[in-house]
Structure 1
């Protein structure tokens, strides 16, 4: 038996199932970016809200769109949009059937009609998890019009990028004089609500529609949010475990997630699901302090574990964080460098550091470092360079940031020399490989060329020449020395 609505009644009592009939759900949310994180985060909170609201909650079904490929949408459609969430505790796994998605579509399909769905009066909220690269931003946080995808959206009848789809949907709302939906960015982007608002306004202006740009700025709410849960890439073990826990029912789209769940949402006007029914969800007046702590301490340290871990032949975040040397380096980097400008007291920072390192070491979560390392050029400015700049200005250490940036450059240098068996995913991958090719074996030239990319790193760092020298020196050591031995030296 395959997982679908008819199979729910055959699921063992040990598995959580929704308390509502999924067939009765009506769409009230449109989501862009139907990946694992969305299915392990926003869908989970929305299902809890529907359960808590009863009949009134049935208006909060989700139309969820995959952005790059149709595969997942196709699989979900075959399962009545149901899937299994496997909550991976260190010594136990809990299975839950998720049913809040009413329809899965592919954004590249003209029949998906995403702009029209956003403009539908029943749509009260639009959420997004398209990753930082999906907003096509430059280092200053503004829309970068040089990206081919943005150029294509300026003339396309059916836009394909998240900013383009939202702008097209809002244009239809404005044209019919409707109430616009609230737009909730759920990606790890600095000031994500304000940043997305500006990107959509910029796109409208680039299309020559200044009236739409002004209307969006005045009428559409883009609250900031902070999301936090580790949801790794699905593995064959997930499929096997889901089938076992479901009593033999087969699920082709299960996902795993850690027990931790946090969703901090800026207050906004208008209807919303009772998301606070799920523990870890709350509405606040200022998301900034939560966002800064998460972006720098969690996401920034994730990048260190990924880039350095791969060079040390450590394949997962758990392996990297559990490594004696790299684990020490990561914890020190998180606490001493990535806390720059994070407005929490010392005890809170200490406790958050301990909690994060414990989460990273959870062996039940198989989070591949190659996946964490994707799209580094879109993440570098907000997660690494911003605290690094502050630390330099205040005389604090930046050794961890130097190691991270040097390791990232080393990824591209090895790949350019066909010595790195990792597929590099980055919106600027070809440019970065080219920089390494142009300066092959010249570590200082490589460091200078990378840091000169202001669209990635922003304006030159304070004492810029000294930082170039430090990164070049570390890059040389990563090239000439055994990485595990180097890490043991650095850790002590």
Structure 2
């Protein structure tokens, strides 16, 4: 291993390689070799082993096709990852990696569902995978299955070191993500009786909040050949993404952190303002429009934006219901919305609706519910959201009943199946406290309006998909 300072990342997906590793490459390009930072990336789940296996064969090096809305592209060779590990079958890898004074921080991208949150933002200790990991840690043997089990092993290793202080930076699309991770991770540790580790963390670890943004779709089948043509290099695991990037991170680090502010990363004490705008305008719009597009037979999200009706629906949602209820504004929100629409319309990215639509049951309370609540609190009926939510429900009904073929993935799909098995499925949906957090009970007129819209939408599509 080199003598350079190091970050570790949990979750080796395209987004990490097009975002955190990309920024680290930008930084290294400005520094002499002895000041470079490098990533060790660790795979945690067996079903995601293919990419890290290919990446390891290339010593962590790969190409990133960075595409502008006009189709022009640059092929960036990213070399900031120089160690690839797989802990999905051998958790001892964790201790080996973290027992290194050069490791200063860990970054995390495991998606929203990987935090196992309840509707009260607590850890779902009843979930079988969480219960499994509690047992693994208590017995000090076995193979973890979740972020919390692996993170515990990492931080136990740091606790034993003389200079083990470390920053734990989640980069997933959760509001107040650093504080929420810290909260549920402490709950996990309390359930394993590791109170001494909690005390150590209070003094030696920080959990900064962050906001990240870049669209990194599933690479096209032709990307490997494109990289070969443009660079002359055989690359079996290239990625692609838009030419927009943003990383806002709380200025709260336990020890040395790479000076990423020199390459465009925003350090601030008010991440909330940035994340609120991004999650509600970008992620919320992505979420709601994806199910309408899916039911209309669209494959990529730019097709939604080129549909005049859907473009107008999204505009109404943004301008009438989202932007008026964002009160802490770090920048011009209408200008931001226009940038997002431009990004959404990038046909050269060809971001798949399949990718955007997955994991909807855990995303809904994060991306959509706050907008609904704030509008209802101001006595405004969110009619655009109601129309779009009805399509989400309709999409789930038709997909679960096998009347609409779509490769939909969601670890919480059983929740939706329970609605459909109820004598009154729409009512079961509207009464689900994990989805609505009591909102439909507080605002019965909203609940009735949504129920009526759902039925109208179902009537249309049940004829199309009998």
On whether the aligned pair clears a TM of 0.5, the verdict is yes
Query: Is the 8 Å Cα contact of residues 99 and 158 (structure 2) preserved in structure 1?
Result: yes
Using the TM superposition, give the Cα deviation of residue 51 of structure 1 relative to its aligned residue in structure 2, in angstroms: 2.0
Q: Deviations over 1:350-375 (max 9, x none)?
A: 11111111110011111111211111
Tell me the distance in 2 between the aligned counterparts of 1:292 and 1:350: 14
Q: Return 5+ residue gaps in structure 1 as ranges.
A: 1-22, 440-444, 486-492
Using the TM superposition, give the Cα deviation of residue 210 of structure 1 relative to its aligned residue in structure 2, in angstroms: 2.5
Deviates more, 1:114-123 or 1:417-426: 114-123
Using the TM superposition, give the Cα deviation of residue 452 of structure 1 relative to its aligned residue in structure 2, in angstroms: 2.4
1:318–1:155 distance in 2 versus 1, CA, 3 Å: same
Q: How does 1:164-313 map to 2 (within 5 A)?
A: 164-247=149-232, 249-269=233-253, 270-279=255-264, 281-313=265-297
Tell me the distance in 2 between the aligned counterparts of 1:100 and 1:355: 29
Using the TM superposition, give the Cα deviation of residue 380 of structure 1 relative to its aligned residue in structure 2, in angstroms: 1.2
Tell me the distance in 1 between the aligned counterparts of 2:44 and 2:449: 39
Tell me the distance in 2 between the aligned counterparts of 1:228 and 1:181: 24
1:169–1:346 distance in 2 versus 1, CA, 3 Å: closer
1:146–1:400 distance in 2 versus 1, CA, 3 Å: farther
Tell me the distance in 1 between the aligned counterparts of 2:227 and 2:383: 43
Structure 2 residue 83 is matched with structure 1 residue 103: yes
Query: Is the 8 Å Cα contact of residues 184 and 222 (structure 1) preserved in structure 2?
Result: yes
Query: Is the 8 Å Cα contact of residues 173 and 279 (structure 2) preserved in structure 1?
Result: yes
* Match for residue 351 of structure 2 among 363, 367, 378: 367
Q: How does 1:404-423 map to 2 (within 5 A)?
A: 404-423=388-407
Structure 2 residue 34 is matched with structure 1 residue 50: no
Instruction: Give secondary structure in 1 for the equivalent of 2:425.
Output: helix
Using the TM superposition, give the Cα deviation of residue 462 of structure 1 relative to its aligned residue in structure 2, in angstroms: 6.0
Using the TM superposition, give the Cα deviation of residue 179 of structure 1 relative to its aligned residue in structure 2, in angstroms: 2.8
Tell me the distance in 1 between the aligned counterparts of 2:390 and 2:425: 10
Using the TM superposition, give the Cα deviation of residue 340 of structure 1 relative to its aligned residue in structure 2, in angstroms: 5.3
1:46–1:415 distance in 2 versus 1, CA, 3 Å: same
Instruction: Give secondary structure in 1 for the equivalent of 2:237.
Output: coil
Instruction: Give 2:44's aligned residue.
Output: 67
* Match for residue 329 of structure 1 among 313, 318, 323: 313
1:115–1:422 distance in 2 versus 1, CA, 3 Å: farther
Instruction: Give 1:476's aligned residue.
Output: 455
Q: How does 1:118-197 map to 2 (within 5 A)?
A: 118-156=98-136, 157=141, 158-197=143-182
Deviates more, 1:392-401 or 1:294-303: 392-401
Q: Deviations over 1:161-191 (max 9, x none)?
A: 1122212221232244543210111110110
Instruction: Give secondary structure in 1 for the equivalent of 2:30.
Output: helix
Using the TM superposition, give the Cα deviation of residue 250 of structure 1 relative to its aligned residue in structure 2, in angstroms: 2.2
RMSD: 2.2
Using the TM superposition, give the Cα deviation of residue 268 of structure 1 relative to its aligned residue in structure 2, in angstroms: 2.1
* Match for residue 19 of structure 2 among 37, 41, 55: 41
Tell me the distance in 1 between the aligned counterparts of 2:432 and 2:86: 34
Tell me the distance in 1 between the aligned counterparts of 2:312 and 2:87: 43
Using the TM superposition, give the Cα deviation of residue 382 of structure 1 relative to its aligned residue in structure 2, in angstroms: 2.0
1:115–1:194 distance in 2 versus 1, CA, 3 Å: farther
Structure 2 residue 67 is matched with structure 1 residue 88: yes
Deviates more, 1:138-147 or 1:461-470: 461-470
Structure 2 residue 58 is matched with structure 1 residue 79: yes
Instruction: Give secondary structure in 2 for the equivalent of 1:351.
Output: helix
* Match for residue 457 of structure 1 among 436, 447, 464: 436
Query: Is the 8 Å Cα contact of residues 298 and 356 (structure 1) preserved in structure 2?
Result: yes
Aligned length: 454
Tell me the distance in 1 between the aligned counterparts of 2:400 and 2:245: 39
1:431–1:344 distance in 2 versus 1, CA, 3 Å: closer
Using the TM superposition, give the Cα deviation of residue 311 of structure 1 relative to its aligned residue in structure 2, in angstroms: 1.3
Q: Return 5+ residue gaps in structure 2 as ranges.
A: none
1:244–1:129 distance in 2 versus 1, CA, 3 Å: same
Tell me the distance in 2 between the aligned counterparts of 1:392 and 1:26: 52
